Amino acid sequence: MYCAAYLDVRKGLKTTVSLYAEREVVKIQDLPNIDDVLEELDLAEELVNTFAVRAKRYWMGWGPVGVPMILAIEAWAEGQLQYLRWLRARVLEL
């Protein structure tokens, strides 16, 4: 098996890296499957919606004092969802 040696400047140590380890690095850096990316975007959208619903429910308990926070949460959630829709459109263009 091929091994490469290099000097770790920070520690001043000589380190050996096998060809197998180099292959693993390349494997990790492969592009993800588009279906996996879309699934993650679905999850992110679900998280935004869940957080917004629960946060608004909390602030509703404060009565009229919580109304500004509820409006802020709605605006934040809409911005996040627009960004996720934009990302989804870019992924589907690939």
42-80 per-position pLDDT tens digit: 999 999 999 999 999 999 999 999 999 999 999 999 999
Q: Are 4 and 17 in contact (CB under 8 A)?
A: yes
Cα–chain center distance at 71: 25
Looking at the structure, tell me whether residues 21 and 48 fall in a common domain. Answer: no
25 and 42 part of one domain: no
Lowest mean pLDDT among 3-7, 28-32, 42-46, 70-74: 3-7
Tell me what the mean pLDDT of segment 78-91 comes to. 97
Answer yes or no: do 77 and 39 share one domain.
yes
Least confident piece of the model among 14-28, 42-56, 79-93: 14-28
Is residue 44 a contact partner of residue 86, using CB atoms and an 8 Å limit?
Answer: no
- Same domain (yes/no): 22, 52: no
- Please indicate, yes or no, whether residues 52 and 14 belong to a single structural domain of this protein: no
Q: Are 6 and 25 within one domain?
A: yes
Contact 7, 16 (CB under 8 A): no
Q: What is the mean pLDDT of the chain?
A: 82
The string of DSSP codes covering 3-64 is EEEEEETTTTEEEEEEHHHHHHHHHHTSPPPHHHHHHHHHHHHHHHHHHHHHHHHHHHTTGG
Residue 17 structural domain: 1-30
Considering its fold, how many domains does the chain have in total? Answer: 2
**78 & 44 share domain:** yes
83 and 39 share one domain: yes
